[in-house]
Amino acid sequence: MKATVRPRVFLVDDHHLFRTGVKSALGDAVEVVGEADEVPAAIELIGERLPDVVLLDVHMPGGGGRAVIDAIKPAHPEVRFLALSVSDAPEDVIAVIRAGARGYVTKTISGPELVDAVERVAGGDAVFSPRLAGFVLDAFASMPPGSELPGPFDPELDNLSPREREVLRLIARGYTYKEIARELTISVKTVETHVSAVLRKLQLSTRHELTRWATERRLI
Amino acid sequence: MIGGIAGGIAARRGRDPTIVRIVLVLLGLLSGFGVVLYIFAWLVLPVEGSAETIGTRALSDRQGITIAIALVPALVLVLLLGSQLHASFVSSWGLPLLVSAAGLLLVYRNAEAEERASLEDSFKALLQLGSDRRHSPRYFLARLGGGLILFVLGVVVISQGGRHTFLRPIAGTVLMIAGTVILLGPWWLRLALGLLHERQARIRAEERADMAARVHDSVLQTLAMIQRSAAEPQEVARLARAQERELRSWLFEGREPGSFGAEGASTLAAGVEQIEREVEEAHGVAVDAVMVGDAPLDDELRALLAAGREATVNAAKWSGASSVSIYVEAEAKRVSMFVRDRGAGFDPESIADDRQGIAESIRGRMQRHGGTAVIRSVPGEGTEVELSVPRHPGRA
């Protein structure tokens, strides 16, 4: 779903050069309402300007992107976060998604793809990179269905439906949402619904791999 | 923690240095001979990486030996005093302490400059106890007095005692230890803290040097190569990409630079990484691989990887796309591999059946191993090659 007005975007990254690069890549497609190069300033300015989407660096001194999400989310649930990172280690990706980011892309993403991701997040949808889709499939597949799980098991949250699996596989294979819709003969809107459902499971499930990935490395 | 002896012994014997330290301290408290042992070890054990011990140098240090021998009358005096006071512990402590003092003297006179400086520092700290600016002289005097009184009280309790014979040694020892702690505790604490800071600083410095070496070996070399080939954008992209991959695998996955995807991959994931890296380096096209699950390599999976490499190379060479995606999923019953590009694409019908690349290296190879190969391509939209083989778990 494309937002009809230009999304208001806020940039948080401790590298000036990278912020400049992102701004030029985004071009006129979005309105950059502010930027910050450290966690406290970011928290203050985001609370003030209430952007639609915060483009957030995962690795930053002072708690990283996660500290920003934790500080903003309770008071302003309408602000959405898209995480950007040079690392695509599962620990980093899963931790920031579970903190509340609605998507994750690596910093090598091309300009048009980034604009597309920002608009998608602004519209309330989730953005999965192929690698993130791979992680999710890994986390939700490594336990054979029906096997005993340690702790409480919620079939609603801790399993993917066959359709969600298919969608994730296609994302992992590098398909765009439009191509996935055509391949599965469903609407783009339905693809988005599936991805949002997976995002919710990813954030709420207590599956062992997810909690392990999310806590193993506390560097973000 | 003083001469590095405990750490050295621990490293030699493969034990935890803390345990060695505790044993030494207990020996020292029990009889005082732990201290002697420590000093003796300091004399005879060589510093790591050097053959000469302090002891061999001390043997040729006449003056030092003379001074050490001069301590013998003092020793005799202490022993006499001990027997006069009927305090056997005085002799049992006095003997090792004096021997230690002599040994320490020899160590000090013959140690390396660095070690000598640290010894000097610790004794200076001992002497400065009285002139500490943070506390008034009255505080120092109170501590000195208190410590001495407790210590002497301990001596008196042990040698004269009361009616409770069995309590005497215990009470006396406790009083003496309390006195020693009050007297020397702050000194020891400062010494230990100083050593701790020094050790941390050294570790940090080593880490920095290590980091600098790695960055130099990889990043700076690559930057230099990029400057030299600035006129060829393809080459610059290739170099930057390869460097990014290596740096990332080092920083985030903890792999040593250069060890990335060593030859002779033994798992599916390692094999895919190898394809990723080799195609990127040979053709200057970004290859993004996503893996779900992993499996040890067998003949079928090797065939799958070989066909997958061929498909990736084809995409890199002919599609004109700047990147190729690989997706590999290892399920319980089968392993699938998808190689996709968004390049020029082609009309599969127009390719003659005898074209070696697709016919033999991809289709034939997969069929011989009980697998399948499906090629989908639309001119103008790109190509996807789907490869799949059944899995035989339990069979090597």
What's the pLDDT tens digit per position in B33-89? 666 666 666 666 655 545 556 666 666 666 666 766 766 776 677 666 666 665 555
More confident residue, B236 or B179: B236
Query: In Å, how far are B88, B93, B123, B257 from B116, measured between CA atoms?
Result: 34, 26, 11, 40
Contact B327 A169 (CB under 8 A): yes
Give me the helices (H) in chain B, please: 5-13, 17-30, 33-44, 54-59, 62-84, 88-110, 113-127, 137-159, 167-215, 221-228, 233-251, 268-283, 299-318, 356, 365-368
Quote the CA–CA distance of B395 and B215 in Å, as a whole number.
Answer: 44
Where are any strands of DSSP class E within A131-220? Answer: none
Read off the pLDDT of each residue in B345-365 and give the average, rounded to a whole number. 70
Read off the pLDDT of each residue in A139-159 and give the average, rounded to a whole number. 61
End-to-end CA distance of chain A: 31
Report the complex ipTM: 0.77
Interface residue of B245, B253, B285, B327 to substitute, partner A, most A CBs within 10 Å: B327
User: Is residue B313 pLDDT above 60, yes or no?
Assistant: yes
Quote the CA–CA distance of A170 and A210 in Å, as a whole number.
Answer: 21
pLDDT, residue B337, reads: 93
HSE, CB side, 13 Å, CA atoms: give it for residue B69. Answer: 7
Q: Which phi and psi angles does A53 have, rounded to 5°?
A: -130, 135
Contact A87 B252 (CB under 8 A): yes
pLDDT confidence band for B261 (50 / 70 / 90):
very low
Quote the CA–CA distance of A202 and A196 in Å, as a whole number.
Answer: 10
Read off the pLDDT of each residue in B112-141 and give the average, rounded to a whole number. 62
How high is the mean pLDDT of chain B? 72
Q: Which phi and psi angles does A127 have, rounded to 5°?
A: -120, 115
pLDDT confidence band for A193 (50 / 70 / 90):
very high
pLDDT confidence band for B92 (50 / 70 / 90):
low
Pairing outcome for strands B372-378 and A53-57: unpaired
pLDDT, residue A58, reads: 83
Q: Give residue limits of the domains in chain B.
A: 5-208, 261-390
B261-390: CATH number = 3.30.565.10
Q: Could you tell me which chain A residue has the CA closest to the CA of B289?
A: A131
Contacts of B196 (CB under 8 A, 6+ apart): none
> Could you say which residues from 332 to 351 on chain B have a Cβ atom under 8 Å away from some Cβ of chain A?
332, 338, 340, 342
Quote the CA–CA distance of B315 and B307 in Å, as a whole number.
Answer: 12
CATH class of this structure's domain A133-216: mainly alpha
Query: In Å, how far are A176, B18, B210 from B181, measured between CA atoms?
Result: 72, 21, 41
* Residues forming CATH 3.40.50.2300 domain(s) in chain A: 8-125
From B244, B253, B293, residue closest to A138, measured CB to CB: B293
A8-125 is a CATH 3.40.50.2300 domain = yes
Q: Could you tell me which chain B residue has the CA closest to the CA of A86?
A: B248
Convert A108-135 to b/e letters by CB count within 10 Å (16 or more is b). ebeeeebbbbbbbbbbebbbbbbbbbbb
Comparing CA positions, the residue from B304, B264, B309 lying closest to residue B283 is: B309
Quote the CA–CA distance of A122 and A102 in Å, as a whole number.
Answer: 9
Quote the CA–CA distance of B275 and A134 in Å, as a whole number.
Answer: 18
User: Number of A:B CB contacts under 8 A?
Assistant: 48
User: Is residue B191 pLDDT above 80, yes or no?
Assistant: no
pLDDT, residue B1, reads: 47
Quote the CA–CA distance of B392 and A7 in Å, as a whole number.
Answer: 51
Using beta carbons and an 8 Å cutoff, which residues of A are at the interface with B? 86-89, 92, 108, 130-131, 133-134, 137-138, 141-142, 144, 169, 172-174
What's the pLDDT tens digit per position in A53-77? 999 888 777 777 788 888 888 888 8
pLDDT confidence band for A219 (50 / 70 / 90):
very low
In this structure, the number of other CB atoms found within 10 A of the CB of residue B182 comes to: 19
> Could you say which residues from 63 to 122 on chain B have a Cβ atom under 8 Å away from some Cβ of chain A?
none
pLDDT confidence band for A187 (50 / 70 / 90):
very high
pLDDT, residue B196, reads: 80
* Residues forming CATH 1.10.10.10 domain(s) in chain A: 133-216
